[in-house]
Amino acid sequence: MYEKVGNILKMAQESNTAAIAFICMDYVMARSVVYAAEATNTPAIVMLYPEHVTIQHTTGFKNHAALVKELANEVKVPIGLHADHDYTYEAIMHTIDSGFESVMMDGSMNDLDTNIALTRKVVLKAHEKGVFVEGEIGHVGLAADSDNHNEDLYTKADAAEKFCKEAGVDSLAVSIGNAHGEYKETPHLDIARLEEIHAATSVPLVLHGGSGIPDDQLLVAFSKGINKFNLGTEFLGKYYNAVAEFASENAGNPDPVKIINLPEYAQSKLQPYLEGRMKTLCHF
Ligand SMILES: [Zn+2]
């Protein structure tokens, strides 16, 4: 059942757990998430990374919003739809007009006051349309650049408090030792910092760069204010592996339309992985 992200995060907050937002570049990934959520009776969020439309052309904005809502309404469990990192007012408005009722305004590469001003402008317009807005304070950088070790980029509790109050965001992405992409070595979340941020704010907190953080650290973070957890790199890697296995298993298959069996095959490989992630990490 299609559900607003704000309601799913409220459920996560009440249960002291996190909903996983999975980056889905196409229908196969989205369908795998929706049916894994249904199989485990776990609310989940299908997330679009806008560059997958604008640069890699794996789907379209309107098309993606519609296909996720159609899939969501095939099942009973709550399924949310969210757009990940947009960086400008214009880009966010385009995403919203395409059918997304939950978006992220990432102004985190700017200084605090500029980030507040940019995000505030988005929030005012988005709220008029009933749209939920995630902001980011501190900066979640790239694991490839070892940004997860750079404490200068970490979120500070007093800045988070000011940002939430002045920008008016509905949820907040934090930088506490996490980074995007594949970590060079095991990351260590700064839990003491998370506790300070959680005490200084009241909105659900969001953890980006979820691939490769050990489960025990994640579960602690989810008990201390992280209510949305973004997972992309690991899931995309599993999808690639499924496609490679399909190609290898069908190498001698003379059927010229064998490609039509790829989506079902990939889903059969992805769904057990997704169900495992939900069972281990989400406790609604
Ligand atoms: Zn991110």
Please give the distance, rounded to the nearest whole angstrom, from the Cα atom of residue 140 to the centre of ligand 1.
Answer: 7
Span 62-87, mean pLDDT? 98
Percent of the chain scoring above 90 in pLDDT: 93
Neighbours of ion ligand 1 (CB under 5 A): 208
Q: Specify if 259 maps to a domain.
A: no
Determine contact, residues 243/28, Cβ cutoff 8 Å: no
Query: 141 lies in which domain range?
Result: 5-236+274-281
Concatenating the DSSP letter of every residue in 232-267 gives -HHHHHHHHHHHHHHHHHTTT---TTGGGGHHHHHH
On average, the pLDDT of the chain sits at 97
Please give the distance, rounded to the nearest whole angstrom, from the Cα atom of residue 12 to the centre of ligand 1.
Answer: 19
Q: Specify if 266 maps to a domain.
A: no
Q: Specify if 78 maps to a domain.
A: yes
Q: Specify if 247 maps to a domain.
A: no
Which parts are annotated binding residues?
85, 106, 136, 180-181, 208-211, 230-233
CA-CA distance, 231 to 165, in Å (whole number)? 28
**Total domains in the fold of the chain:** 1
Determine contact, residues 203/164, Cβ cutoff 8 Å: yes
| pLDDT, tens digit, 9 for 90 and up, residues 30-47 | 999 999 999 999 999 999
Q: Specify if 250 maps to a domain.
A: no
Residue from 187, 213, 193, 188 nearest 205 by CA: 193
Q: Is the pLDDT of residue 210 over 90?
A: no
- The structure tokens listed for 186 are 């095991």
Span 245-260, mean pLDDT? 97
Residue from 209, 116, 210 nearest 167 by CA: 116
CA-CA distance, 137 to 25, in Å (whole number)? 26
**pLDDT given for residue 45 in this prediction:** 98
Which parts are annotated binding residues for dihydroxyacetone phosphate?
181, 209-211, 230-233
Determine contact, residues 203/171, Cβ cutoff 8 Å: yes
Burial tier of 130 (Cβ tally within 10 Å: 0-12, 13-18, 19+): exposed
Which parts are annotated binding residues for Zn(2+)?
85, 106, 136, 180, 208
Please give the distance, rounded to the nearest whole angstrom, from the Cα atom of residue 249 to the centre of ligand 1.
Answer: 34
pTM above 0.95, yes or no: yes
Q: Specify if 62 maps to a domain.
A: yes
| pLDDT, tens digit, 9 for 90 and up, residues 55-69 | 999 999 999 999 999
Q: Specify if 212 maps to a domain.
A: yes
Q: Is the pLDDT of residue 98 over 90?
A: yes
Please give the distance, rounded to the nearest whole angstrom, from the Cα atom of residue 284 to the centre of ligand 1.
Answer: 24
Determine contact, residues 207/221, Cβ cutoff 8 Å: yes
**pLDDT given for residue 219 in this prediction:** 97
Concatenating the DSSP letter of every residue in 97-114 gives HTT-SEEEE--TTS-HHH
DSSP tally for the chain: helices H, then strands E: 11, 8
Please give the distance, rounded to the nearest whole angstrom, from the Cα atom of residue 141 to the centre of ligand 1.
Answer: 8
CATH number for position 192? 3.20.20.70
CA-CA distance, 26 to 187, in Å (whole number)? 29
**pLDDT given for residue 194 in this prediction:** 97
3-state helix, strand, coil in the chain (%, to 5): 50, 15, 35
Q: Is 145 a catalytic residue?
A: no
Question: Residue 100's pLDDT band (boundaries 50, 70, 90)?
Answer: very high
Please give the distance, rounded to the nearest whole angstrom, from the Cα atom of residue 85 to the centre of ligand 1.
Answer: 6
Q: Is the pLDDT of residue 152 over 90?
A: no
**pLDDT given for residue 265 in this prediction:** 98
Q: Specify if 14 maps to a domain.
A: yes
Please give the distance, rounded to the nearest whole angstrom, from the Cα atom of residue 263 to the centre of ligand 1.
Answer: 26
Q: Is the pLDDT of residue 146 over 90?
A: no
| Identified catalytic residue from 26, 84, 170, 255 | 84
